[in-house]
Amino acid sequence: MAVPAQHIAPRHIDCPPFMDQRPGTSGLRKKVKRFAEPHYLAMFVQAIFDGAGDLKGGTIALGGDGRYFNREASAIILRMAAAHGIAKIVVGQGGILSTPAVSNLIRARQLKGGIILSASHNPGGPEGDFGIKYNVGNGGPAPESVTEAIFAVSQRLSGYDILPESAGTIDLDRPGTQQLGSLTVEIVDPVADYAALMEKLFDFGRMRPWLKANRILFDAMHAVTGPYATEILVKRLGAPASSVINAVPKLDFGNHHPDPNPAHAEELMARLWAADAPALGAASDGDGDRNMILGPKLAVTPSDSLAVLAANATLIPGYAKGIKGVARSMPTSRAADAVAQALGIESFETPTGWKFFGNLLDADRVTLCGEESYGTGSDHVREKDGLWAVLFWLNLMAATDKNVPQIMEAHWRRFGRHYYSRHDYEALDSAKANDIMNGLRGRLSDLEGRHGIELADDFRYQDPIDNSVSEKQGVRLIFGNGDRLVLRLSGTGTEGATLRLYIERFAPRTADLHLDAQVALAELIGQAEDIIGIKRISGRAQPDVVT
């Protein structure tokens, strides 16, 4: 006879702290090899449990993007949650939940928070990356005060509490309720609640006939949105099954970067540049919070996408009453600001990372938010949301009967065009990357007034709701003619340092609005090298990724 699970006591495992557990832009990301080292994952989970506020007796959510180590990590977290005295965990079947679905689950069920197992757009597999994010009770990523508290705990931990394996195991594939010691585990359909939310926001009745007459192609990149896209686009909206490609989630994402941009979604790009291109092409990332929007031979920049959604929101049932305001991350182009100004609503500029939008959304100051890194979202959850953005575009096309090029043309003719590009220099030697960044920081006051630069600073953000301050969020060089260069270090990489250079130039509505962005920005890109010298100092001939 097995001993009744309730009577097996937790064990305390002694372990010195790991000193490298500071969460970055979006959770803690490391190589799988690091996360799989004995006690590494468990120690960070203990830091979350101790640092994130009182979770004892409460209910949280747990799910991930299905990447390699997702199941192993889930099993450890469940045994630790039981040991910590958490009352209940709601888990996506198979350990799967997209990031926006976790956000929705936390909000809909008023949970204390949620743990998301994902390194998002980073590659997966045994040689790839793994990550853990913690979301708080509003459904959004933990704010800096919480991630810093978690980090502080991680620095002084002396061990963790866990139920022994003999206490039993949870079958992640079996829907319904199971018990692990005093912990109740509810396994739920990862898609159902999320799909219901989408039906509330968008006009499915209008989108169905449009999808009979027009083709779309959604690339799930072998990541978490496969089952979501199949349920929503194919089953509920009636698109043919061939509308979703790479729909089956894989542990290693088919050995690709699950990063929806023109550089990494090669197959989709080829289909959209072919003669028989579908009307709309789209892709999402590892954990389903990013989106890329394409029309035939046209890639919509994420900054433009945010502006288009803001300008047309009232055509969508969920936003028919109008939007309160718009927020964008600092490096994101100012296209959305132009729309906000025209609509007479507030616009906000926040540091990079979705956690900075939470307070503005909670305070009802903004309805739409976006980042240049293929992230768009609204107050329906507290995360960026990939499929939501695709459905928004679909609904917009069905409502206006305009195609993607026509929508963009009309937008630029009304607001002008913010030519925009991001150049990434990946896996640089950290010392060199810091030299470049600090070298520029040291020259900021010299630069003002030279090269036509009007403002040169290191972005500092004071949250308008709780007044918290975040410093050193990226260097801005703003020119008198409105041009903008931004330089910052990535906070999601796991190898060396990645520098991101963001380049923006505004073309008024009467200018040539159909140039290739790299051509339109060539002069400014040259100036960036003169002033910052990334190539000169790093020895790299060109960026690794241009989007």
Instruction: Please state the closest distance from residue 383 (CB atom) to Co ion, in A.
Output: 9
Closest of 405, 413, 394 to residue 342, by C-alpha: 413
Q: What residues numbered 277-316 form the site for ligand VG1, per CB under 6 A?
A: 285, 289-290
Under DSSP, the state recorded for 203 is -
Q: What residues numbered 421-440 form the site for Co ion, per CB under 5 A?
A: none
Rounded to 10 deg, the angle between the 302-312 and 335-343 helix axes is 10
Q: Can you tell me which residue has the tokens 């963001």? A: 502
Binding of ligand VG1 by 354 (CB under 6 A): yes
Binding of ligand VG1 by 490 (CB under 6 A): yes
Instruction: Please state the closest distance from residue 135 (CB atom) to ligand VG1, in A.
Output: 12
> How far is Cα 50 from Cα 80, in angstroms, rounded to an integer?
12
One residue of 140, 353, 358, 370 binding ligand VG1 per CB under 6 A? 353
Nearer Cβ to Co ion (133/411): 133
Q: Is the Cα torsion angle 78, 83, 84, 87 positive or negative in sign? A: positive
The answer to whether 120 is a known catalytic residue is yes
Binding of ligand VG1 by 261 (CB under 6 A): no
Binding of ligand VG1 by 500 (CB under 6 A): yes
> Could you tell me if 486 and 330 are in contact, meaning their C-beta atoms sit under 8 angstroms apart?
yes
How many chain residues are in contact with Co ion, going by CB under 5 A? Answer: 5
One residue of 30, 107, 121, 328 binding ligand VG1 per CB under 6 A? 121
Q: How far is CA 321 from CA 178, 194, 200, 300, 312, in A?
A: 43, 22, 14, 26, 12
Binding of ligand VG1 by 371 (CB under 6 A): yes
Nearer Cβ to Co ion (129/289): 289
Task: Dig out the tokens for 85 from the structure.
Answer: 């005295």
The region of 39-47, 69-77, 218-226, 349-357 touching ligand VG1 under the rule CB under 6 A is 349-357
Instruction: Please state the closest distance from residue 419 (CB atom) to ligand VG1, in A.
Output: 19
Instruction: Please state the closest distance from residue 476 (CB atom) to ligand VG1, in A.
Output: 15
Instruction: Please state the closest distance from residue 384 (CB atom) to ligand VG1, in A.
Output: 7
Instruction: Please state the closest distance from residue 433 (CB atom) to ligand VG1, in A.
Output: 13
> Which H helix or E strand runs over 91?
strand 88-96
Nearer Cβ to Co ion (287/385): 287
Under DSSP, the state recorded for 24 is B
Task: Dig out the tokens for 497 from the structure.
Answer: 């340092």
Nearer Cβ to ligand VG1 (93/373): 373
Residues in the chain: 547
Say which of 26, 74, 98, 120 is annotated catalytic.
120
Beta-bridge partners for 457: 476
> Could you tell me if 116 and 285 are in contact, meaning their C-beta atoms sit under 8 angstroms apart?
no
The region of 90-98, 151-159, 295-303, 350-358 touching ligand VG1 under the rule CB under 6 A is 350-358
CA 136 to chain centre: 16
Q: Is the Cα torsion angle 2, 45, 358, 369 positive or negative in sign? A: negative
Please name the residues in contact with 167: beta carbons below 8 A apart, sequence gap of 6 or more: 5, 8, 79, 82, 180, 181
> Which H helix or E strand runs over 134?
strand 129-135
DSSP strand pairing (325-329 vs 346-350): parallel
Binding of Co ion by 289 (CB under 5 A): yes
59 binds, among ligand VG1, Co ion, none (CB under 5 to 8 A by kind): none
> Could you tell me if 502 and 422 are in contact, meaning their C-beta atoms sit under 8 angstroms apart?
yes
Comparing every residue's Cβ against ligand VG1, the nearest one is 120
491 binds, among ligand VG1, Co ion, none (CB under 5 to 8 A by kind): ligand VG1
Binding of Co ion by 287 (CB under 5 A): yes
> Could you tell me if 333 and 304 are in contact, meaning their C-beta atoms sit under 8 angstroms apart?
yes
> How far is Cα 268 from Cα 370, in angstroms, rounded to an integer?
23
Nearer Cβ to Co ion (290/505): 290
Instruction: Please state the closest distance from residue 99 (CB atom) to ligand VG1, in A.
Output: 7
230 binds, among ligand VG1, Co ion, none (CB under 5 to 8 A by kind): none
How many chain residues are in contact with ligand VG1, going by CB under 6 A? Answer: 18
Binding of ligand VG1 by 492 (CB under 6 A): yes
Closest of 395, 473, 376 to residue 203, by C-alpha: 395
378 binds, among Co ion, ligand VG1, none (CB under 5 to 8 A by kind): none
Under DSSP, the state recorded for 433 is H
Binding-residue pattern over the window 110 to 129 for Co ion, x denoting contact by CB under 5 A: ----------x---------
The helix, strand and coil proportions of the chain, stated in percent and rounded to the nearest 5, come to 35, 25, 40
- Enumerate binding residues for ligand VG1 (CB under 6 A): 25-26, 120-121, 285, 289-290, 329, 352-354, 371, 373, 375, 490-492, 500
- Enumerate binding residues for Co ion (CB under 5 A): 120, 285, 287, 289-290
- Which residues are the active-site residues? 120
